[in-house]
Structure 1
Amino acid sequence: MNETLRNSVKTMVKETFEGPPREGGMFTESRPNSGLFGTLDQLTANDASIAVNGTTVAAHADHTRFYLWGTNAILKVGKQPEMDWGGSWKINLVDEKGWNRIREELRHEYLTFLETLDVIEWNEPLTKEVLGSLAHSAYHLGAIRQMLKVIKK
């Protein structure tokens, strides 16, 4: 794969999870903590457990961890593992320990994903998988940030 394209994809993935670089972001708010990790770290377990339109931030965060785990498996072995998509939305209420676990496991899957982008043999199916995961992650970031408007009222 073209190194410029790979580096651009990595920049967008980092912005989604870590927030924008100092010089401003491409699609997140140009302020600190507007990526997924900064957004989630602002919330207590109680906040993350508040239902908004039938789901919680905890469920979105754990679902994001789940599909990144699946993406990482696809990038490593070339095929999707057996995945219980419905089960990936079952977490609703979390205590502080559970909320910390979700965020730590999400960070682990993100770091694995980011490292894998440097070592995979880029081809069309894997490129689509990577870009799909980037879009999926950005979607969940946006959904969570909209949920905060209700939670923080």
Structure 2
Amino acid sequence: MLRESFKVLLKETFDGPGGNGSWYTESKPGSGIFGTLEKVSAEEASILVQGTTIAAHIDHTRYYLWVANAFMKGDKPELDWSESWKISTVDESTWSRFKVELQNVYTTLLENINSFTSFDEQTLNGILGALAHSAYHLGAIRQMTKTIKVPSQT
């Protein structure tokens, strides 16, 4: 049951809510990270908002999930968190690559969750940390999109 709860909430964070409402995101399609990013161009992802960019948030989230996956496999990579915030501007090619890489580490996280036969404290903290951390960045990114998007005139 715990495994399925983790997956439901991670999927809501990244893929958006399922068909019957949501646990904490907006209850409409496109409310997860991937749906939000579909509406953001490389140029928009590179606009500075309160000292950072959407591109930086995505690269940092990707790095965080990579670290979480490594620790869950028992690896202990050398970490440089400041590196995960150095990207601020992206071109279309880099922006597309960031989104694919984020999808890949997210998919790996779901696979890792499926592979565990039991959850020790480090694994539970890693999964809950990845969920909370990603949800935080989803909220930040969704707020940033309100700043960078000009409402359409109809």
Give 5+ residue unaligned stretches, structure 1.
none
Q: Is 1:110 aligned to residue 103 of structure 2?
A: no
Q: In 1, Cα distance between the equivalents of 2:143 and 2:40? A: 14
Give 5+ residue unaligned stretches, structure 2.
none
Q: C-alpha displacement at 1:76, in angstroms? A: 0.6
- 1:1-153 map, 5 Å: 4-77=1-74, 79-120=75-116, 121-153=118-150
Q: C-alpha displacement at 1:54, in angstroms? A: 0.5
Identity of aligned residues (%): 54
Would you identify which runs of 4 or more consecutive aligned residues in structure 1 move more than 3 Å?
none
Other structure's SS at 1:55 match: coil
Question: Alpha-carbon deviations, 1:82-122, whole Å to 9, x = none?
Answer: 11100100111100000000000000000000111011241
TM-score (norm 1): 0.95
Q: In 1, Cα distance between the equivalents of 2:103 and 2:125? A: 22
Q: In 1, Cα distance between the equivalents of 2:60 and 2:76? A: 16
Question: Alpha-carbon deviations, 1:24-72, whole Å to 9, x = none?
Answer: 1100100000000000111110000000001000000010000100000
Q: C-alpha displacement at 1:80, in angstroms? A: 3.5
Name which of structure 1's ranges 118-127 and 20-29 shifts more when overlaid on structure 2.
118-127
Other structure's SS at 2:40 match: coil
How many aligned positions are there? 149
Q: Which residue identity is paired with 1:142?
A: G
Query: Contact between 1:71 and 1:80, CA under 8 Å: does it hold in 2?
Result: no
Q: In 1, Cα distance between the equivalents of 2:45 and 2:39? A: 10
Q: Which residue identity is paired with 1:115?
A: E
Other structure's SS at 1:82 match: coil
Q: In 2, Cα distance between the equivalents of 1:80 and 1:24? A: 38
Q: In 2, Cα distance between the equivalents of 1:67 and 1:81? A: 12
CA RMSD between the two structures: 0.8
